[in-house]
Structure 1
Amino acid sequence: MDQAIGTMAGAILPAVLQITEQLAVTVGIAAAATVVGLMLFSWITRRFLIICPPNKLLVLSGRRRATEDGRSVGYRVVAGGRAWRVPVIETAGFMDMTTIPIYVAVQNAYSKNSIPLEVHAIANVKLASDPRIVMNAVERFLGRDRAEIQRVAKETLEGALRGTLARMTPEEVNEDRLKFAAEISDEVEEDLEKLGLQVDTLKIQSVSDEKEYLDSIGRVRIAEAIKRAEIAESNARNEANKEAANAKALGDVAQEQAQKAILQKQNELRRIRAELEAQAESEEKKAVAAGEAARATAEQELQRIRSELEQIRLQADVVIPWEAKKSQQEYEARAQAAPIAENGRAVGEALKLIADTWRAAGPDAKEIFLIQQLDQILADVAARLRHVAIDDVQVLDAGDGRALPRLVSGYPAMVAAVLEELRASTGVDVPAILGRRLEAAAGRAPAPAGGAR
């Protein structure tokens, strides 16, 4: 069996090796064909795929094609992007679409008023972006350099500039340069479209003339402006003088009115001050009169108190001792008339009666003794009141009318204060003693006729 297997393996192995060799050859051929295909595609792409930058125009010439307006042309235009060129049949060309600066200067170009002017301007021209117009540039400038395009555009702009100047006055050209540039652009637009070009910008740099016509216009206008400025300055100065005069007049009037107002206020202040002084003097006089009246009332009250005290003193010094002495004399007479044995008893009775009399007086005995000294006490009170001097009195009333009565009531209050000091220092209550004495005197006095009080 092993021999049979070895025989089979020996027969199969050469076939496998042969198949492997054929497969390797096939893979190598396929790889080589792929590489060759890629290289061929890359070469074809680089050769026939054309990339156009955005600032250039690609023109493929060779095959005829119909345009939008029905014309048949032998080229096609690509503005930026890419396009395939048909080998052998088409050729490729580029045109530059960047701007071309053109300096335009014309001399002795006559304006509308036949004044020769010299104008300098700068323009930026480029190929048109419109596909219909750019074909004109392709037909006229393909393969020509930028200098040729610049020359043609400059000559066209100079012609348009001279044509525009012929329709405008020097004043219009010099004063409104934007309008002048717009007129030139409108004038040259149609001509440039025929060339496949367009104007991006056009600026007028200067306008002058050899006859100094514009300078004379400027001098006249400057003179007019100076004249108007002088007139305006004179008018302004006159207006300022008028305003100053009016302001001064108004200021004088205002000052006079202010002086009048000040005088009025001063007069009113004097009047109010006089009224206040008169009122204060009147109140002062009233206060002085009230003080004098209060002092007189206090003196009268003091005299009344002196009279009452004098009556009480007389009663204590004369009446009571006289009554006691009378009783004593009666008892002495009885004693003298009685036997000698009765003398002692009579004397004892007399002494007892005297003792009973003083005992009956009770606390009044002490008061009676002190009342005998009231002359000196009241003299001292009057002396203290005489020392109170009132010169000027200013009364300030709170609006309730009580200030003056309070001032008048001060004098009796002073007497009461002095008597209160006497009571506090000696224990003698003069008003109380006088009250009790008066009540006692009223009790002993006979009733008036008719029982009327």
Structure 2
Amino acid sequence: MEAIFALFVLLGLGASAGTFIIRNLYYICQPNEVLIFAGPTRKLAGDRQVGYRLVKGGSSLRVPLLERALQMDLSNMIIDLKVSNAYSKGGIPLMVEGVANIKVAGEELAIHNAIERLLGKSRDEIEQMAKETLEGNLRGVLASLTPEQVNEDKMAFAKSLLDEAEDDLVKLGLVLDTLKIQNISDNVHYLDSIGRKQQADLQRDARIAEASAKSQSAIQTAENQKITALSRIERDLGIARADAERRITDALTKRDAVVAEAEAEIAAELARIQAEVPVQQERIKQVEQQLQADVIAPAEANCKKAISQAQGAAASIIEDGKARAQGTLRLAESWKSAGSSARDIFLLQQLEPLLQILTESIPSVEVDNVTVVDSANGTGATRTAAFIEQLRQTTGIDLATAVKRFSEGSSPEIPEIIED
């Protein structure tokens, strides 16, 4: 417990010491001021020794017991200047009113003068010191200038005053930022008389200038009128020349236009005819191609087709004839080899298809006579005779007579069968 208590005591003492240091030893310098820590001697440039150190902007700690912190304000001070009965060059008393902006110097060298001369003084005392210094310098500058110079060029007068007062203010540690002369007057109305004289001179000069301007204007007007008349004449001549040239140009242009138009029409007609020739040639080719496609080609195709068909038919007929001739030769050879029964065999071979054709072509047959032959128990000749009789009775074909005629060399008469 005692250790904890001692720790708290030490922390309290440390916090108190920190607060004391911050409040009494730590200083922050504002931008518009300078801090002077008076204490031990310091050496500056040029072997100059001072008993203080400067802090401009930032912060610093004061050494306890050895240093004392002082503050100097660097903000601007406005001083109203008013000088009466200040004699100018020539003995004319003048009254000058103006305003000046000064401040305590913040740069090296000049700030040391301010510390040595102004440290500890109030702003009112510093302003009064600066005002008296400026008024003394103003009287000195006025004594070297005439009223005309002071009144005519206030800027030059203010510049002369700045140059005159700068050295004195630097010695005091002050800086003159601006100086404006507001009014310059006198009690003897000297400046008014100068103003009236200048006004009279201005009026005289104005009248002279006006008369000169009027004469110059009259001369210029006459010259302008002459130039205008000459310009008008030249303009009329130019218009007449331009009109004549225009008429000539129009005539030439019309002639050229007529010629060009005729040439263009002829060239167009020629071009049209020349362009028409290929068209007609193409049209002839097209007609020929169309005729070739529509008439000649189909005719040639039909001709080739007819020739092919004729050749095919002829080849078929030839081949058929050859086949029939071969068949006839073979039939004759078979007939000779068969001997006396060749006729019966031939008739029997041809009888079946003939009967089929006849039965298909004759839908109904009227029976006038019926002959019954026993073909079941008879011989081959008996069955043949029965069949021939049946054929004669049903179709009217006398097969025996037909075979007889065929053997004798005449063609048998076969009833004509018409197919629908």
- Cα distance 1:225–1:62, how it changes in 2: closer, same or farther (>3 A)? same
Q: Which of residues 61, 77, 101 in structure 2 aligns to 1:100?
A: 77
Rounded Cα–Cα distance in structure 1 between residues aligned with 2:185 and 2:209: 32
2:90 is matched with: 113
Q: Structure 1: 5+ residue runs without aligned partners? A: 1-23, 268-397, 400-453
1:207 is matched with: 184
Aligned residues between the structures:
249
Post-superposition offset of 1:103: 0.8
- Where 2:64 maps in the other structure, the secondary structure is coil
Q: Which of residues 42, 46, 61 in structure 1 aligns to 2:23?
A: 46
Q: Name whichever of 28-37 and 177-186 sits farther off.
A: 28-37
Q: Does 1:151 align with 2:135?
A: no
The residue identity in structure 1 corresponding to 2:128 is R
- Cα distance 1:106–1:262, how it changes in 2: closer, same or farther (>3 A)? closer
Deviations 1:28-47 (A, max 9, x none): 64455345323322322322
Post-superposition offset of 1:239: 2.2
Rounded Cα–Cα distance in structure 1 between residues aligned with 2:151 and 2:10: 76
Rounded Cα–Cα distance in structure 2 between residues aligned with 1:266 and 1:140: 96
Q: Which of residues 105, 116, 120 in structure 2 aligns to 1:128?
A: 105
Q: Does 1:170 align with 2:147?
A: yes
Rounded Cα–Cα distance in structure 2 between residues aligned with 1:147 and 1:265: 90
Q: Structure 2: 5+ residue runs without aligned partners? A: 245-260, 263-420
1:67 is matched with: 44
Q: Does 1:142 align with 2:119?
A: yes
Normalising by structure 2, what TM-score? 0.53
Normalising by structure 1, what TM-score? 0.49
Rounded Cα–Cα distance in structure 2 between residues aligned with 1:53 and 1:229: 60
1:243 is matched with: 220
- Cα distance 1:34–1:233, how it changes in 2: closer, same or farther (>3 A)? same
- Where 1:131 maps in the other structure, the secondary structure is coil
Deviations 1:301-351 (A, max 9, x none): xxxxxxxxxxxxxxxxxxxxxxxxxxxxxxxxxxxxxxxxxxxxxxxxxxx
Rounded Cα–Cα distance in structure 1 between residues aligned with 2:76 and 2:132: 17
State, as a whole percentage, how many aligned pairs show the same letter.
Answer: 41
Ranked by relative contact order (alpha carbons within 8 Å, sequence separation 6 or more), the top structure is 1
Rounded Cα–Cα distance in structure 2 between residues aligned with 1:187 and 1:56: 27
Q: Name whichever of 45-54 and 30-39 sits farther off.
A: 30-39
Any residues of structure 2 matched to 1:268-347 within 5 Å, and which?
none
Rounded Cα–Cα distance in structure 1 between residues aligned with 2:238 and 2:22: 109
Post-superposition offset of 1:197: 0.9
- Where 2:109 maps in the other structure, the secondary structure is helix
Post-superposition offset of 1:230: 1.6
Post-superposition offset of 1:128: 0.6
- Cα distance 1:231–1:43, how it changes in 2: closer, same or farther (>3 A)? same
- Where 1:117 maps in the other structure, the secondary structure is strand
Post-superposition offset of 1:93: 1.7
The residue identity in structure 1 corresponding to 2:94 is L
Rounded Cα–Cα distance in structure 2 between residues aligned with 1:55 and 1:151: 21
Deviations 1:60-119 (A, max 9, x none): 223222232323332222222212112122222212111111111111111122221111
- Cα distance 1:128–1:242, how it changes in 2: closer, same or farther (>3 A)? same
Q: Once superposed, what is the RMSD of the aligned Cα atoms?
A: 3.1
Rounded Cα–Cα distance in structure 2 between residues aligned with 1:25 and 1:162: 80
Rounded Cα–Cα distance in structure 1 between residues aligned with 2:210 and 2:114: 62
Rounded Cα–Cα distance in structure 2 between residues aligned with 1:206 and 1:50: 45
Post-superposition offset of 1:245: 2.6
Rounded Cα–Cα distance in structure 1 between residues aligned with 2:33 and 2:75: 8
- Where 1:201 maps in the other structure, the secondary structure is strand
- Cα distance 1:246–1:69, how it changes in 2: closer, same or farther (>3 A)? closer
Deviations 1:10-56 (A, max 9, x none): xxxxxxxxxxxxxx764664455345323322322322111121112
